[in-house]
Amino acid sequence: MRNDILVFAEHFRGTLNDITYELLGKGRELAQSLDSRLLVSLLGHEVGGLVERLGVADQVCLVDRPELKEFASDSTKAVLEAILADVQPRLVLLGSTSIGLELLGLISARKGIPCLDNCTRLESRDGKLVATCQIYGGKVFVEVALPEATTLVAVVPGSFPKEPGEVASKPELRNIALPPVLPEARTTFRKLLEPPSGDVDITKAPILVGVGRGIQNADNMSLAEELAAALSGVVCASRPVIDQGWLPLTRQVGKSGMTVKPKLYLALGISGAPEHLEGMKQSELIVAVNTDPNAPIFSVAHYGAVVDALELLPLLTEEVSNQVTKKASA
């Protein structure tokens, strides 16, 4: 085993996902502290064009094959295992994502490689790698010293900034010896199901008014809509609200929904389950309102108030409307 860091790059519909840059940025930092190299694996079909976006890495293991056009864990796993055998990295960084969740356990169990999930922090301390992982809905954090052996770590998207990973230049390509034929995939892609369209794209809205269980019922949605209108923003929600059918799927913020980074995210009656935080914690200004002073949302918010969102909504709408009117007539 060498001290190199290997990042598993994820892409969707021709673009690299943000998690890839987040992992690259952190990978670069760790490689520097361990005085080792950063490698990245890029698997897919006709993805060569993405190589130049991986400039922060020292080497790219590019595997471009028709069988890898759509993600299938059998084929991806076989290729990744070959890369691991070749590179023998100290640490493999994956996203705790739809793809990472499949690969993590499969490779760990088959190859006897230790693994960790739900990682939100990773650092090198006196030559040892220490990961911090979140469990119990984000209420408890666990610090784990990684074993002195190749370890797989799945990272919660949004845990690290992506800017340090965005270096455009042409990294060196590394050849990996692969079997001429990959094992037949036992899970095969049939078709892509798109989300219902014809609605606002919340990822593009600069101001978002987020509602959670604290909104209590569908009637109160109008209070949120009024505030959004006064702010020229858009209403979005955490999963429980979407599950109730009070807003369409396209307004869902969080792990299974959209990731948003607006200038302002107002979290009203949202407790802050990790799945939701993942989708909005990188917003520029987060103001959270919840009756529970221990709500996890306050750990990512910049400003918070322990009041009832339903009480606050009409009051804030009035304050904003008055201010806006004042400015207009000034």
Partner 1 sequence: MNIAVLAKQVPDLVEGLEIDPSGKALDVNYLRYILSESDDHALEQALLLKEKVGGRVEVFALNQGEARESLVAAIAKGADRAVLVDAGLDSPLNNHAAAQIFAGLLGGGLFDLILTGVRAIDDLDGSLGGLVAGSLDLPYAALIRKAEADGDGKTVIVQKEYPGGYAVELVVRLPAVLGIQAAEQPPRYVPISRLRQVMKTATVEEVSVAPPSQQPLDVTCLFKPEEGAGAVMISGGAQEAARQIMSLLSERRLLR
Partner 2 sequence: MGTLQVSPIPDKPSVFFPEIASAEDKFRACLQCGVCSASCPMAKAMDFPPRKAVKMLMEGRFNEVVESNTPWLCVSCHTCAARCPSKLQISDGLFPALRAAVMAGGKPLPSDLQKALQNTYLYGNPMGESPRKRADWAKTAGVPVPRISQLRRPVDVLWIVECSPSFDPRNQEVSRKLARILNTLGVDFAILGHEERCMGDCEWLAGERGLFEMHIERNIDIFNKYRFKQILLTDPHAYRALRNIYPSMGGVFDVQHYTQFLAERLDQLKPLLKQKLNATVTYHDSCCLGRKMSIYDGPRALLQALPGLKLVEMIQNRESSLCCGGGSVTVFLDRFIQERVKDRLADQRVEQAVATKAEILAVACPYEPSRFEDAVKITGHEGKLMVCDIIEMLANSMGLA
For residue 244, the partner it binds in partner 2, partner 1, none, with Cβ less than 5 to 8 A by kind, is partner 2
Q: Cβ 292 to partner 2, closest distance in Å?
A: 11
For residue 78, the partner it binds in partner 2, partner 1, none, with Cβ less than 5 to 8 A by kind, is none
Residue 291 neighbours by CB distance under 10 Å? 15
Q: At what angle do helices 221-231 and 309-329 cross, to 10 degrees?
A: 30
3-state class (DSSP) for residue 174 = coil
Interface with partner 2 (CB under 8 A): 217-219, 244, 291, 308
Q: How far is CA 158 from the centre of its chain?
A: 4
Q: Cβ 223 to partner 2, closest distance in Å?
A: 9
Q: Which is nearer to partner 1, 34 or 209 (CB)?
A: 209
For residue 1, the partner it binds in partner 1, partner 2, none, with Cβ less than 5 to 8 A by kind, is none
Q: Cβ 245 to partner 2, closest distance in Å?
A: 9
> Environment class of residue 15 by beta-carbon count within 10 Å: exposed (0-12), middle (13-18) or buried (19+)?
exposed
Q: Cβ 306 to partner 2, closest distance in Å?
A: 11
Residue 284 neighbours by CB distance under 10 Å? 11
The dihedral formed by the CA atoms of 154, 196, 262 and 51, expressed in degrees to the nearest 10: 50
Q: Tokens 């060569």 appear where?
A: 48
Q: Which is nearer to partner 1, 1 or 324 (CB)?
A: 324
Q: Cβ 173 to partner 1, closest distance in Å?
A: 28
Measured CA to CA, the distance from residue 273 to residue 267 in angstroms comes to: 12
For residue 291, the partner it binds in partner 1, partner 2, none, with Cβ less than 5 to 8 A by kind, is partner 2
Q: Which is nearer to partner 1, 138 or 171 (CB)?
A: 138
Nearest to 294 by CA among 159, 137, 131: 137
Measured CA to CA, the distance from residue 7 to residue 20 in angstroms comes to: 8
For residue 118, the partner it binds in partner 1, partner 2, none, with Cβ less than 5 to 8 A by kind, is partner 1
Q: Which is nearer to partner 2, 137 or 147 (CB)?
A: 137
Element (H or E) spanning 222, and its range? helix 221-231
For residue 217, the partner it binds in partner 2, partner 1, none, with Cβ less than 5 to 8 A by kind, is partner 2
Q: Which is nearer to partner 2, 74 or 308 (CB)?
A: 308
Name the β-bridge partners of 38.
5
Q: Cβ 312 to partner 2, closest distance in Å?
A: 14
Q: Which is nearer to partner 1, 33 or 98 (CB)?
A: 98
